[in-house]
Amino acid sequence: MQEYQAPLADMKFVLRELVDLELLAQLPGYGEVTADVAGAVLEEAAKFAGGILSPLNRSGDVQGARWQDGQVFTAAGWKEAYTRFVADGWSALSCPAEFGGQNLPRALSALIEEMWNGANMAFALCPMLTRGAIEALEMRGSDAQKRTYLPRLVAGEWTGTMNLTEPQAGSDLSAVRTRAVPAGDGRYRISGQKIFITYGEHDLTGNIVHMVLGRTAGAPEGVKGISLFVVPKFLVNTDGSLGARNDVHCVSIENKLGIHGSPTCVLAFGENGGALGELLGEENRGLEYMFIMMNAARYSVGIEGVGISQRAYQTALAYARERIQSTEAGARGDARVPIIRHPDVRRMLLLMKSQTEAMRALAGVVAVSLDAGRLHPRDEERSSHQAFADLMIPVIKGWCTENSVDIASLGIQVHGGVGFVEETGAAQHLRDARITPIYEGTTGIQANDLIGRKLARDGGRAAQKLIAGMRAVAADLAAEPSLSEAAAAFSAAIDALERAIRYVVQNYGIDIRSVSVGAVPLLKLFGIVAGGWQLLRSALISRRRLAEGEANTADAGFYEAKLATARFYSDHVLSQAPGLAHSIVHGAAGALAEGVL
């Protein structure tokens, strides 16, 4: 089975050429993060991903997590790998230095997250959710809560979870029934059941800090009456040591399609008097606070999609280079060739490669704005970057994860029949990828967020600013004769996106049902065009580097491949844009017709 190898050359290109390192250097705490420093960190992370996490991916899938009498045991080798993960400092990359973190920019930590997910997504889910708990506590926790929980969560000594969903609620959080009753000393007794809680119970750390949505007595109905509580597995004494076991227990774990190494738990709170928890922030603002975690998680789930896509591509590429089958098209009587010589196999591999590189590049650019939206010293710059990041979060989450399913499926197709056999690993990539478009709000939920909160609410202003930037790139492409065809394809795709956005903005308030039919196609269109924006920026940069004549042989090959990949994406992916725009603008009548279903 092909082990994961981090795509270091492309990751370094993203940081060196596409990410605005000069802007990051102006943000508080990031001044020392140079391209050389970032490259060294990536190289060390690649060793851990390929040497430690990747070999556990298959065994974790086969063995899975195991529930026994309320306890959950991870697969063989996982506890040792997590111990080393923490000891090497990987849990604290983008965490605040005040609490022991390394305060690295999100653009760098996101690439490392991609490595963890490419190597072993089921393992990577645990630190990802812990990071969300850290952000919620950092932004809304009291000083006492921060002192109690953040140093240990940042260090990875404890892990965190996000407890939203209940059996009767699903994605409808207004239906949450978990109750919180004052217990004195500012604490509450929590009672209720939560489902689908990733790493809600495990044997990796001594404590688990649950972030739990619930309702206090007399709270308003619906989402306005939800509060957020910090409920540890073990109570924490005033000196920071662990006290008694809290009244929260894992009653079962799910038997899932994929990510078998990650325990997905059903948690019962308060079966023996009530789990003790603390209110985070103010009462009835829990959903607002939970969205701090959810937005961070949505971006990270998009990164999961990038990681799984890269792993599926690597597996398929290695097989295509080794598998000898049939003569090359048009060559009668010649020797059989590796299937990578066959045109359709090349087409599939390039679909995998080009879209994965587009997703990685777009996620890196968005990561800069995630940091600048928090840290830039000027108000107008913070607002501008935050608006761009908010616009792109549903795109990163929805487009990257939907792509990961398609890319992993293509990986099986490249393998042919043996791809359907578990030993190749290709099937696991598809099984693992399939949860990502569901996590943290399905693609439909992300798309509704995009058309409603991110486009209609501000009249499309943030999107128009982005489109203006895209058109500037298209103009630069048009000025380069060798890229003129790509420039034409990109301009047509931008026109299609602008047409679709205009339709949404003009019609959302008067015919929301019709606009909603096109929400997911619009999210896909947005991702395709935004990903093309970054690939074509990459092509312009590569053309300039080659023209400078200073590239060595290896670098020249990399830049030539970038140009070819961008050309393929223009012809095979950007070309989908006009058709998607048509379905967004005209597709409602057939979908909403009575009697069809």
Question: Catalytic residue positions?
Answer: 440
Residue with tokens 């089958």: 325
Give dist(CA 285, CA 444) in Å, integer: 25
Nearest alpha carbon to residue 154 among 95, 234, 106: 95
Give dist(CA 309, CA 351) in Å, integer: 11
- H helix count then E strand count, the chain: 19, 14
Phi, psi at 570, each rounded to 5°: -60, -40
Helix, strand, coil fractions of the chain, as percent rounded to 5: 65, 15, 25
3-state SS assignment for residue 208: strand
Nearest alpha carbon to residue 561 among 578, 538, 584, 580: 538
Give dist(CA 553, CA 410) in Å, integer: 31
3-state SS assignment for residue 72: strand
Ramachandran sector of residue 459 (left: φ over 0; alpha: ψ -120 to 50; beta: rest)? left
Q: Which residues contact 57 (CB under 8 A, 6 or more apart)?
A: 4, 119, 120, 121, 122, 123, 261, 425, 428
Q: What is the CA radius of gyration of the chain?
A: 24
Nearest alpha carbon to residue 105 among 14, 209, 10, 4: 14
Q: Are 219 and 225 in contact (CB under 8 A)?
A: yes
Q: At what angle do helices 343-375 and 106-140 cross, to 10 degrees?
A: 40
3-state SS assignment for residue 353: helix
For the record, the structure tokens of 359 come out as: 């997703």
